[in-house]
């Protein structure tokens, strides 16, 4: 199975963090160490220990090794990263050395992206350039809502155009009231050139739940 995987989404707020937790738990259920990594976090809050981002805290809590916060999240920004010319451009060398560090500690690393596949850094370069530089395989989270089919197809195409393998995708039910859910999943199955790893239902406080039950990572075992 993969040593490292990058979790992207059809948009921001579609469940990348929730699915990253589910992936970590699924790998840990196999008896292997798995840790989360959030290279760049935005919308962080000041705490007595310093800036803290809720995604990174969830990944830290979902990891099978005790990690310091800055091992999970090396770059913690306060503002939206797409705002050009503020906050400086993240140092990719620093992010990569953080990943090297975790590779020494854990058998598997689940790397959570920020926003969607083409999220831009302050210099208006897409963060996908770093994912390509690292040659990370990708798992796509599709937040099931109106319009998600187009976003999913476009994202899968962009990942393929960037030359990276799409290992699988996860349907995340962020809108319990959406009509035609089954038809949407069926269309996505036909149009995304990668296996469906599972469907996460609409849950109360999913970041605190056992989510491994919703995924079947068998398709990832051969890769």
Ligand X SMILES: C[C@H](N)[C@H](N)CCCCCC(=O)O
Q: Is residue 158 part of the contact set for ligand X (CB under 6 A)? A: no
**Whole-number minimum distance, CB 219 to ligand ATP, in Å?**
21
Q: HSE-up of 149 (CA within 13 Å, CB side)?
A: 13
Q: Which stretch binds ligand X (CB under 6 A): 99-107, 113-121, 151-159, 161-169?
A: 113-121
**How far is CA 198 from each of CA 43, 202, 212, 213, rounded to the nearest angstrom?**
29, 13, 10, 9
Structure-token pair, residue 133? 């530089």
Structure-token pair, residue 217? 């990572």
Q: How many CB atoms lie within 10 A of CB 34?
A: 23
> For the window 1-20, what string marks contact with ligand X as x by the rule CB under 6 A?
-----------xx-------
**Whole-number minimum distance, CB 193 to ligand ATP, in Å?**
22
> For this structure, is 38 an active site residue?
yes
Q: Is residue 16 part of the contact set for ligand ATP (CB under 6 A)? A: yes
**Quick one: 1 or 203, whose CB is closer to ligand ATP?**
203
Strand partners, 75: 40
55 among annotated binding-site residues: yes
**Whole-number minimum distance, CB 194 to ligand ATP, in Å?**
18
Alpha carbon distance 145, 147 (integer Å)? 6
Distance of CA 19 to the CA centre of its chain: 7
Active site residues: 38
| Residues at the contact surface with ligand X, assessed by CB under 6 A | 12-13, 42-43, 80-82, 114-116, 119
């Amino acid at each position: 199975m993969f040593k490292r995987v990058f979790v992207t989404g059809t948009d921001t707020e579609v469940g990348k963090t929730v699915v990253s937790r589910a992936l970590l738990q699924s790998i840990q259920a196999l008896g292997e160490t798995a840790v989360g990594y959030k290279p760049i976090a935005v919308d962080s809050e000041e705490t007595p220990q310093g800036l803290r981002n809720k995604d990174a805290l969830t990944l830290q809590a979902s990891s099978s090794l005790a990690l310091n916060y800055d091992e999970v999240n090396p770059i913690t920004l306060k503002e939206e990263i797409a705002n050009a010319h503020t906050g400086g451009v993240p140092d990719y060398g620093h992010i990569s050395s953080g990943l090297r560090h975790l590779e020494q500690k854990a058998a598997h690393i689940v790397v959570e992206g920020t926003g969607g596949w083409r999220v831009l850094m302050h210099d208006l370069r897409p963060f996908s350039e770093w994912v390509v530089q690292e040659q990370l395989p990708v798992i796509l989270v599709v937040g099931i809502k109106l319009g998600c089919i187009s976003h999913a197809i476009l994202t899968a195409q962009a990942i393929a155009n960037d030359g990276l393998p799409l290992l699988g995708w996860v349907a995340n039910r962020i809108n319990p009231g959406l009509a035609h859910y089954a038809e949407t999943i069926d269309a996505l199955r036909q149009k995304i050139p990668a296996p469906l790893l599972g469907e996460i239902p609409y849950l109360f406080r999913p970041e605190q739940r056992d989510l491994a039950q919703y995924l079947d990572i068998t398709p990832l075992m051969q890769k």
